[in-house]
Amino acid sequence: MSGTSASAKRSSRRVRQDYKRLRLPKSEFNLDWARVNVELTPRREKILELLKTHRILTAEQLEYLHPDYGHQSQSQMLLRRDISKLHEVYLVDKAAQKKILRWDGTEKKTMVAAIGRIGSQYVGWAEHYERIRYENGSAILPKTAHHVLRVHDMEILARETLKSLRVDVLAWVFECGKQIIQHPTNGLNPDAFCIMGDQVTGEKYTAFFEYDTGSMDLRKRMKFPELEAKFDKYKGIQEWRTWYQRPLSLKSENKFPYVFFVTEEEKRFPVLPELLSKRGIKSTVCMQSDFVNELKKFIHTMRKSNV
């Protein structure tokens, strides 16, 4: 057998294994069938919970965020097996061997997972949004995948950095507009919101996090109308009196959350920092490579204010 022929057979076998699913009549394609026929262990339920809160995750991100993985040998093998079992019964959609650009700029082939059709019913969503599509045996990721996965990378980096500084992450909320801001008309939906508990000072700090791939206001250097509209929404929330009556504001050392605007586009400077400053929003605009150092500076600054 030639090398090319052997490679093609391996590829074909891998595709069949990656995307094999049980065939169900449409009449049985529902949550009741899944509850009877699927073994949903607490570990697998946690996978669904994380995909509900994070929408789409790589295997490595799931391994980090899931409390039952990452601390044992064969952790990746167990996780991938659980994802495959959930995929077979439409609780999870998956894309195997996808090239993902990592935080440090390197590429890695990995598995990406999202909630499947029956999984959407299981987690209580009224409708299923197909984040991973299948065409001709191939899985296709959404155009927003790079941005969303980078936001999750930012969460992991923030957790590790804060842990090293003896700061607890008390809450991290992805796409936090409806859950945290809850303004009736403003519509601001930051990429993430974080509550931090400082073991050194005993104080709590809050922050919004935005990750910018450069697609918004593409090719603009001096005026950024879409980003300015977003910053105006931040200013609107900062001036919203109701915000300061809520427990998360009353218990926080900084009554309005600090804003981290993390970008991979150098053309955002120097205009964006000036736009935020002009609106009176305490913030940091930095390249993604500088994020960790800027987060450390924020913690040190907050600690100095309590001396």
pLDDT at position 10, please?
44
Q: Residue 287: beta bridge partners?
A: 263
pLDDT tens-digit series, residues 251-273: 999 999 999 999 999 999 999 99
Quickly tell me which residue has 């490595």 as its tokens: 60
Task: Return mean pLDDT, the chain.
Answer: 90
- Percent of the chain scored above 70 by pLDDT? 91
Cα distances from 235 to residues 228, 230, 281, in angstroms, run 10, 9, 7
CB atoms within 10 A of CB 276: 21
Residues counted in the chain: 307
Cβ atoms of 288 and 103 closer than 8 Å: yes
Mean pLDDT for 84-90 is: 89
pLDDT at position 70, please?
76
Q: What is the model's pTM?
A: 0.90
> β-pairing, 92-101 with 56-58?
unpaired
Distance CA 47, CA 65 (A): 9
pLDDT at position 307, please?
60
pLDDT surpasses 60 at 2: no
Cα distances from 3 to residues 7, 9, 13, 137, in angstroms, run 6, 10, 15, 23
pLDDT at position 96, please?
92
